[in-house]
Amino acid sequence: MTRTLLTLGHGYSAAALARRLLPQGWRILGTHRNPAKAPDVAAQGVEPVLWERAALEEALAQASHLLVSAGPRDTGDPALAEIGPAIAARAPALDWAGYLSTTGVYGDHGGAWVDESTPLSPGTARGRARAEAEAAWQAIQGLPLHIFRLAGIYGPGRGPFEKVRQGTARRIVKPGQVFSRIHVADIAQVLEASIRQPRPGAIYNLCDDDPAPPEDVLLHAAELLDLPPPPEVAFDDAELGPMARSFYAENKRVRNDRIKDELGVTLLYPDYRAGLAALLGDET
């Protein structure tokens, strides 16, 4: 029997999962909002599904697995707003469902460690919207839901090298500030491991082993490129937009023991050094 995954929001992480599953004979249906994007989705070997009710409901009826990577909007979760009743009706027939959330739901912990048992206390509007979306998906009866709280995502096309090469990178220094991050290939392997070992109701943090100051990552990228270090700028003096500044409002270290203990995952890129080295190697 062909296993069919529907990705609601076929973006960067969903595409990485598709690259792992397609060679194994999976059928992947991926949504898009712009008809002009359909050829790009199809070029991945993924069947494009236009984000409109009839097409979404038809695709959902064929799915054995569901990945939700479309983030919440001002009006709430977009998938539930569009086809919530159809999802509720289909829920018991699904073998697995995954929701991609964010570690932002934990809020600020002053650099202390958090894990999946840490109470949610999001301090930003974006984090609160994610926490509300998690709860809305958890409320669907019979849905074999798994929640994945993602740290900062990087990978091919989303690394620091271009800004360092262009001389536009700045090492913004806020003493004590650290961020957790995760390579997109590790996101994909954790999702695949969960699909193989469903644990409905499970929540997993997806991050590497080494929360680190962002300025250290940029410095290491420059060293790998044999370029001068990007200039340092004090956080209070940095000209940051509201979105970028909100990231610095929260400071925590995120534990990832559960993906190792429950799913048996060995990270491909356990820290930013391994991840950046791989990205640079892929360029050559």
Q: Residue 283: its pLDDT value, please? A: 80
pLDDT band per the 50, 70, 90 thresholds, residue 1: low
Name the residue among 241, 274, 253 with its Cα closest to residue 172.
241
Name the residue among 249, 257, 13, 235 with its Cα closest to residue 127.
249
**β-bridge pairing 152-154 and 113-114:** unpaired
Integer Cα distance of 184 and 190 in angstroms: 10
Integer Cα distance of 55 and 72 in angstroms: 20
Q: Residue 246: its pLDDT value, please? A: 85
The answer to whether the beta carbons of residues 112 and 253 sit under 8 Å apart is yes
4-154+182-208+255-265: in CATH 3.30.420.40: no
The answer to whether the beta carbons of residues 37 and 49 sit under 8 Å apart is no
Dihedral of CA atoms 181, 26, 202, 213 in degrees, nearest 10, equals 0
Integer Cα distance of 174 and 38 in angstroms: 42
Hey, which residues does 96 pair with through a beta bridge?
65
pLDDT band per the 50, 70, 90 thresholds, residue 172: very high
Q: Residue 74: its pLDDT value, please? A: 85
CB proximity list for 151: less than 8 A, separation 6 or greater: 103, 179, 180, 181, 182, 205, 206, 207, 208, 254
pLDDT band per the 50, 70, 90 thresholds, residue 284: low
Reply yes or no on whether the pLDDT at 98 is more than 70.
Answer: yes
pLDDT band per the 50, 70, 90 thresholds, residue 63: very high
**How many CB atoms within 10 Å of residue 76?**
14
Residues 73-88: pLDDT tens digits? Answer: 988 999 999 999 999 9
Q: What is the mean pLDDT of residues 244-270?
A: 95
Q: What is the mean pLDDT of residues 204-209?
A: 98
**DSSP 3-state of 194:** helix
**β-bridge pairing 181-183 and 47-50:** unpaired
- Domains of the chain, by residue range, sit at 4-154+182-208+255-265
Tell me the pTM: 0.96
pLDDT band per the 50, 70, 90 thresholds, residue 203: very high
Q: Residue 147: its pLDDT value, please? A: 98
